[in-house]
Amino acid sequence: MSDRLSVLVAARDEEDRIGGTVAALRAHFPEAAIVVADDGSRDRTAAAAEAAGAHVIRLRRRGKGQALTMAERQLEPGPLLLCDADLVGDVRRLAESDADLTIAVFSAREGGGFGLAKRAARSLIRLRCGLAPREPLSGQRRLSTRARAVAFPAAMGFGVETRMTIDAVRAGLEVEELELELEHRPTGRDLRGFAHRGRQLVELVLACGPQAVNHRGLRLPLVGSVIGLAVPSVLPVAAIGLADDLWSGPERGFRAHLGSGATTGTLKLVGIPLYALARTRSLSGALLVGLAANAVNQLDTRPGRALKAFGFGTLLAGGVPKRALAVAVLLAPYDLKEMAMLGDAGSNALGAVLGFSSVERLTGFGRWSAIGALGLLTFAGERRSLGAVIETTSVLRDIDRLGRIA
């Protein structure tokens, strides 16, 4: 394990400031690896950072948390110093700290707003782990090797620091704050500044809620439960799915869950049909809802895939409740852009919406035909990944990749 310090700076459109920041860091840490994660800048940020002597990792615009995550995995092991791109000041004392997570506190008050975001972050941290830091949003942080393993992959966007502190405290790591004479560019009290703080508040709340890691290894907020809130008839299904999101094991598929005994997957296999049976008072209704929920859930392995399946299913079912469709449309860009995930809560709830809508419209032979088709789909998914089928079928693959980040 290397003891060499790595310094990581996330930057977007910081052409005027990044050169000075990198030059100061190189002067203060001549033996360290100075790396800039360029988060899709539209100006010459990357060129300015390279000219100042940093190694630059060029990324698509994804937000601060994801930029840090994608860059961090390319660094060598060891302690890590995180800095903002517009930092002015000496952080050598921060890098010398022996705590697992050390957070820089600005000796002079910084910020051009009313402190709402800072108070919100402090309250969320206290609520989740009991700590009430002076500077919950500081981007100047030193992480030990242990803290680095706990903190990454980092939370999305501007919630990265808040969730990092929560994770460190809950993991039993030593967290301390260190007051330093530092400066950075404050966000102003103008339209742009208030828009920034509004987004920051949203991302703070999302960062403190349920999280999951997607196929790229990025940590994203799980937002699928909102479908259950919008459509109360599937709220119990969303709750069962959320339990699987939070506490599931490595088991996948009917056989794996049944063979493992009492798991959250088993809860889904039993609980969703039982709830559907209670609502529809019909065995065929219970089967249809349970199989529909499982089918959409099986497809939720890539961004947008479950929502596209829901859209196709809506056409086959002859319509769904307007609120369900509205929520699906609103969530689609966030899912496709990998800013959020449906999770089992969302995919099972969407499938249940399709199931209940089909129960209302189908009777007799039509209903049993739908059950048979979904049963075959489930059986096929047990034998071979439905995702693999999509990826190897050109038409399905092209539809599947529409709107998704490459």
Give the pLDDT band (50/70/90) at residue 257: low
The structure tokens listed for 269 are 């296999």
The answer on pLDDT for 196 being more than 80 is no
The answer on pLDDT for 313 being more than 90 is yes
pTM assigned to the model: 0.86
Determine the average pLDDT of the residues in 205-212: 93
The whole-angstrom separation of Cα 389 and Cα 165 is: 41
Among all chains, which residue has been given the structure tokens 């890098």?
95
The whole-angstrom separation of Cα 317 and Cα 340 is: 27
Q: What is the 3-state secondary structure (H, E, C) of 242-272?
A: HHHHHHCCCCCCHHHHHHCCCCHHHHHHHHH
Which pLDDT value is given to residue 251? 59
Which pLDDT value is given to residue 333? 94
The answer on pLDDT for 201 being more than 70 is yes
Distances (CA, A) of 181 to 86, 90, 109, 311: 14, 7, 10, 54
Contacts of residue 320, Cβ cutoff 8 Å, sequence gap at least 6: 314, 353, 354, 357
Which pLDDT value is given to residue 190? 66
Determine the average pLDDT of the residues in 256-264: 63
The burial of 309, by beta-carbon neighbours within 10 Å (0-12 exposed, 13-18 middle, 19 or more buried), is given as buried
pLDDT tens, position by position, 269-287: 999 999 999 999 999 999 9
Do 18 and 53 form a contact (C-beta atoms < 8 A)? Answer: no
Among all chains, which residue has been given the structure tokens 């994608």?
70
Do 261 and 278 form a contact (C-beta atoms < 8 A)? Answer: no
**CATH class name, domain 6-209:** alpha beta
Sign, CA dihedral 88-92-93-94, equals positive
The structure tokens listed for 14 are 């910081």
Determine the average pLDDT of the residues in 140-156: 96
Which pLDDT value is given to residue 300? 93
Do 349 and 271 form a contact (C-beta atoms < 8 A)? Answer: no
| CA nearest neighbour of 338 among 217, 234, 220, 176 | 220
Secondary structure percentages of the chain, helix, strand, coil, to 5:
55, 10, 30
Amino acid at 86: D
Q: Are strands 55-59 and 80-84 parallel, antiparallel or unpaired?
A: unpaired
Do 323 and 231 form a contact (C-beta atoms < 8 A)? Answer: yes
The structure tokens listed for 277 are 């049976």
Contacts of residue 22, Cβ cutoff 8 Å, sequence gap at least 6: 9, 34, 36, 49, 52, 53, 54
| % residues pLDDT > 70 (the chain) | 92
Q: Are strands 101-106 and 175-180 parallel, antiparallel or unpaired?
A: parallel
Average pLDDT of the chain, as a whole number: 91
Determine the average pLDDT of the residues in 364-389: 91
Q: Are strands 6-11 and 80-84 parallel, antiparallel or unpaired?
A: parallel
Which pLDDT value is given to residue 198? 82
The answer on pLDDT for 261 being more than 80 is no
| CA nearest neighbour of 13 among 51, 50, 37, 40 | 40
How many CA atoms lie less than 13 Å away from 166 in the CB half-sphere? 24
Which pLDDT value is given to residue 263? 77
The answer on pLDDT for 114 being more than 80 is no
| CA nearest neighbour of 238 among 145, 346, 120 | 346
The answer on pLDDT for 184 being more than 80 is no
Which pLDDT value is given to residue 100? 97
Do 224 and 343 form a contact (C-beta atoms < 8 A)? Answer: yes
Which pLDDT value is given to residue 265? 82
DSSP 307: H
Do 155 and 338 form a contact (C-beta atoms < 8 A)? Answer: no
Instruction: Indicate the domain borders of the chain.
Output: 6-209, 212-401
